[in-house]
Chains A and B, each alone.
Chain A
Amino acid sequence: MNTVETLLAANRESIVQRWQHLILDTYPPETAKLWKKSSDPYHNPVGARIRETAEAVVDYLASGGDKAALEPVLDRLDELVRVRAVQNFAPSQAAGFLFLLKKILREGFWQDFSEANAWDQLLAMETRIDGLALASLDLYAKCREKLHEIKYKDLERSQVQLLKRAQLIVGIGEGESAD
C-alpha cells in the first residue's frame, strides 16, 4: 500500500462517516438530520445503502489498484445509484456523489500528502475516483433505461390482452410454418 492508500485504510471509519454525511446533505435538511441518526435498514434504506456503498468504495480504493475486484464495488454503487436515479436529482447530482470523496481527502489530509510529497499518488487515487464516477453515470443511464422499459411493459401488460381479445393482433398458430 502506498501512502495515500494507507491513510485511507487508517482513517476508514471517519472517512466513511464524513462521506455518508456529505451525501446525506444532498437531501433536504430535515431529512439529512433524520437519516444521519437512523441505522434501521428498512426505515432508512437510503442511509443504509449510502453507508454500505461508502464502505465498499473506500475499501476498494484502499486495497490498491490492481488487487481489488471491481465487480463487487460496482454492484454496491448500483444499489445506491438505483435509488438516486429515481429521486428527482439531475444526472450529475445523482451520480456525482463520488466527487465528494475527493473533497474529503483534500480537506482532511492535504498536510499529510504535502509532508509525504505524495502528489503523484493522490493524482492516481483521484483518477480512480473519477473512473468510479463515470461508472456511476453508466449505472445511472441503465437505471433510467430500465425505468422507461418498465413504463413500456406496464402499458403492454395492461393492453396486449385487449388487442388479442379484440383480434386486432393474432400470433402464429402452433406448428404453423412460413413455407
Chain B
Amino acid sequence: MSKMAPPEEVMKVDYSTPAESWMDVKPEFKLGNYSYPGKPDVLKYLGLPNPREWNPVEEDWKLPPDWREIVRDGFRELLKKYRSLKVFMDVCVRCGACADKCHFYIGSGDPKNMPVLRAELLRSIYRGEFTVAAKILGKLSGSRKLEEDVIKEWFMYFYQCTQCRRCSLYCPYGIDTAEITFLARDLMNRIGVNINWILEPVANCNRTGNHLGIQPHAFKDMMDFLVDDIETITGRRVEPTFHRKGAEILFITPSGDIFAEPGIYTFMGYLLLFDYLDLDVTWSTYASEGGNFGSFTNDKWMKKLNAKMYHEAKRLGVKYIIGGECGHMWRVLNQFMDTMNGPADFLEVPKSPITGTVFNNAKSTKMIHLVEFTADLIKNGKLKLDKSRNAGITATWHDSCNTSRGMGFFDEPRYVLENVVEKFVDMPAQTIREQTFCCGGGAGLNNGEFTEMRLRGGLPRGNALRYVQEKFGVNTMSCICAIDRATLPGLADYWAPGVKVTGLHELVGNALVFEGEEERTMNLRQEDLPGVEGSEEDE
C-alpha cells in the first residue's frame, strides 16, 4: 500500500505561475476565449482573400502558402501609408504608464493585454523584419521572426482589444493602441484571419442597409409595431416617414435599436421626441445603420459604409443628418469622415429649427448627435419634462468610449439625464469621462461566444458600478451606445445584480409632457409608473 504524503507535503502544492518570457508563452485557444472565424461566403462576398472553413483550436489555420510575404508587404505598405504607425512602432520607451489601464488587462491579469505588450506583438515583428538592430542583436533587441504562432497570438490579442483608447490617454507619447489594433486587423484580413461577428454585419450593411440584414419591409414593420406600442402607452399616434425627399433632416441610428431590448425603448424615445417637436425628419432603410463595423475591418470598408449615409442624404436632398445613440458611428464620423469622404459640402451646417442654434462643431461633417440636439432643446426651455415619470430611478452615467474619449461628450448627456431623472450619481472619477472604462463589447466583440471574456473585460466597469450601487443605491445605468445597451445588461447582471440599463432617450421619452396629453400610467417598457397601480388593484 502506498503511503499518504504527510500534510506538509500536500500543502507544498505551488499554485504560482512559473516565470517565462512572454514570447515563449503560446496562446491557448479554447471555446469561449475567441470569436468564431469569418464564414467563407461572407469573405467571398466582401472580396476578402482566403475564404475557407477553419477553426482556431485546430493546429492548421490554412493560411495561404505565401502568407509571410503578404504580411510583410502589407506591413511595409501600412508603414508607408500611416506615418502614425511608424511613430508608434519606434517611439515607445516602455515607461509602463499604460500597463494597468486596459480593462481586459485589469480583468484578466494576462500580461499580453497590457497595451505596451499588445503593441509589442506587432512591434517585435517590425523590429525583426524591418530594422537593422535586429540583424545585429537578434532577440536581445526585442525582435522576432514572423512565424505562424505570431499570427495566432495576433488573432488572440488584437481581438481582445475593443479599441476603446483608454490606454492612449495615459501614454506620454500618445501612442494610440486602437490604431495599432486597426492596422493589425487589416494585416490579418489580408491572409483571411478574421471574425465573423464583424464581417457578416459589414456584408449585411453593404447589401441590405444595416448590420443585421433587416430588409426594408421588415424594418418598416418593426417600426409600425413600435408606433403601436407608443399609442398604447401615450395615446398618441406618431407618424414617421421613410425616404421623404426634401425633408430637412435625415435621422440615422444603429439597427440594434429597432428590435433588441432595451434599445427599442430608446427608439420609441426618438419617435416621441420628433413628434413632440413636429420635426421635419425622415428615416431611410438604405441608410438604416449608424454603426460602422467596417471600421473594425479595414479603411476600405469603413469608408464605404460611412459614405452610404451621405449618399442617402444627397439623394433625399436633406439639409443635414442627425445621428442616434451610437458609439463607433461617432468615432468614424469625428475622427475619419472628413478625410475619407468629407467635407460634405452638399449639406448645410446643422441648425436647430427649434432653437436656432447653429452647430458649428459639425461645420464640415454636417452631422450632429441627437444628444447635443436634445441638450440644446432643454437648455433653451423647449421641452416640458416631468421627472416623476422616471421616479424610483437612481441613475448613473456610463460614458461610452467612442462618444466620450472619441469626441468629448461629457456634459451634454449628463445635462439631459439630470433633467429627466430625480436622482443622478456619477461613478468614481477614475472610471468616467475621459477615463471611462469600456463595456467590453466594442470593436466587434459583443458576440455570443465571447461572453465570458467580455465579463472579464467588464470587471472594471462593473466594479465601479457596484460601488455606486452599494453606496448610493444606484439602480439604473444610462448610456448612448447600442453596443453598450446590448453588452451592459449582462455585465450589470454579473457584477452589480439589480442594476438595469437604459438608453438616454428612453428616459427622455418617459419624461416628455405633451400638450393636452392623456395621463400616462406606464413607462415605455409598459411597466406601471410608481404610484399608479394596475387598474384592478385600484378599484
Chain A residues within CB distance 8 Å of chain B? 22, 25-32, 34-35, 38, 40-46, 82-83, 86-88, 93, 96-97, 99-100, 102-103, 106, 143, 146-147, 149-151, 153-155, 157-158, 160-162, 164-165
- Which of B86-94, B321-329, B391-399, B450-458 has 4 or more CB atoms under 8 Å from chain A? B450-458
Q: How far is the CA of A160 from the CA of B264 in the complex (A)?
A: 12
A158 touches B260 (CB 8 A): yes
B101 touches A43 (CB 8 A): yes
Report the minimal beta-carbon distance from A73 to chain B, rounded to whole angstroms.
17
A154 touches B486 (CB 8 A): yes
Instruction: Tell me if B364 is interfacial: C-beta within 8 Å of chain A.
Output: no
Instruction: Tell me if B235 is interfacial: C-beta within 8 Å of chain A.
Output: no
B109 touches A45 (CB 8 A): no
Instruction: Tell me if B59 is interfacial: C-beta within 8 Å of chain A.
Output: no
* Per-position binary interface string of chain B over residues 197-226, scored 1 when its CB falls under 8 Å from any chain A CB and 0 otherwise: 000000000000000000000100110010
B11 touches A103 (CB 8 A): yes
Report the 8 A-B pairs with minimum CB-CB distance, sorted nearest first. A25-B16, A31-B109, A27-B109, A150-B490, A30-B111, A45-B463, A157-B261, A161-B259
Q: Which of B91-136 contact A (CB under 8 A)?
A: 99-101, 106-111, 114
CB neighbours (8 Å) of B225 from chain A are 164-165
Q: How far is the CA of A158 from the CA of B214 in the complex (A)?
A: 13
Chain B residues within CB distance 8 Å of chain A? 7-8, 11-13, 15-19, 22, 25, 33, 99-101, 106-111, 114, 218, 221-222, 225, 259-262, 264, 428, 430-431, 448, 451-452, 455-456, 459-460, 463-464, 486, 489-490, 493-495
Q: If the complex has contacts A42-B464, A96-B15, are A86 and B452 also in contact, measured as CB distance less than 8 A?
A: yes
Q: If the complex has contacts A106-B7, A154-B451, are A43 and B494 also in contact, measured as CB distance less than 8 A?
A: no
B489 touches A153 (CB 8 A): yes
Would you list 25 pairs from A and B whose C-beta atoms are within 8 A, ordered by A residue? A25-B15, A25-B16, A26-B17, A27-B17, A28-B25, A34-B99, A41-B463, A42-B463, A43-B460, A45-B459, A45-B460, A86-B452, A88-B108, A99-B11, A147-B451, A150-B455, A150-B493, A151-B448, A154-B448, A154-B486, A155-B448, A158-B259, A161-B259, A164-B225, A165-B225
Q: How far is the CA of A35 from the CA of B106 in the complex (A)?
A: 9
A32 touches B17 (CB 8 A): yes
Q: How far is the CA of A138 from the CA of B114 in the complex (A)?
A: 32
The SS class assigned to the A binding surface is: helix
Nearest B residue to A164 via CB reads B225
CB neighbours (8 Å) of A35 from chain B are 109
Contact of B100 among A32, A38, A157 (CB under 8 A): A38
CB neighbours (8 Å) of A34 from chain B are 99-100
Q: How far is the CA of A45 from the CA of B495 in the complex (A)?
A: 12
The SS class assigned to the B binding surface is: helix
Nearest B residue to A38 via CB reads B100
A165 touches B259 (CB 8 A): yes
Nearest B residue to A156 via CB reads B261
Q: How far is the CA of A111 from the CA of B16 in the complex (A)?
A: 26
B261 touches A161 (CB 8 A): yes
Q: How far is the CA of A40 from the CA of B430 in the complex (A)?
A: 10
CB neighbours (8 Å) of A44 from chain B are 100, 106
Q: How far is the CA of A61 from the CA of B8 in the complex (A)?
A: 21
Nearest A residue to B456 via CB reads A86
Q: If the complex has contacts A43-B106, A45-B459, A147-B451, are A99 and B13 also in contact, measured as CB distance less than 8 A?
A: yes
CB neighbours (8 Å) of A153 from chain B are 489-490, 493
Nearest B residue to A103 via CB reads B11
B260 touches A161 (CB 8 A): yes
CB neighbours (8 Å) of B101 from chain A are 43
A150 touches B494 (CB 8 A): yes
A22 touches B459 (CB 8 A): no
Report the minimal beta-carbon distance from B383 to chain A, rounded to whole angstroms.
28
B16 touches A106 (CB 8 A): no
A28 touches B111 (CB 8 A): yes
A147 touches B452 (CB 8 A): yes
Most buried by B among A42, A147, A164: A42
B109 touches A28 (CB 8 A): yes
A147 touches B494 (CB 8 A): yes
CB neighbours (8 Å) of B222 from chain A are 161, 165
Most buried by B among A22, A43, A102: A43
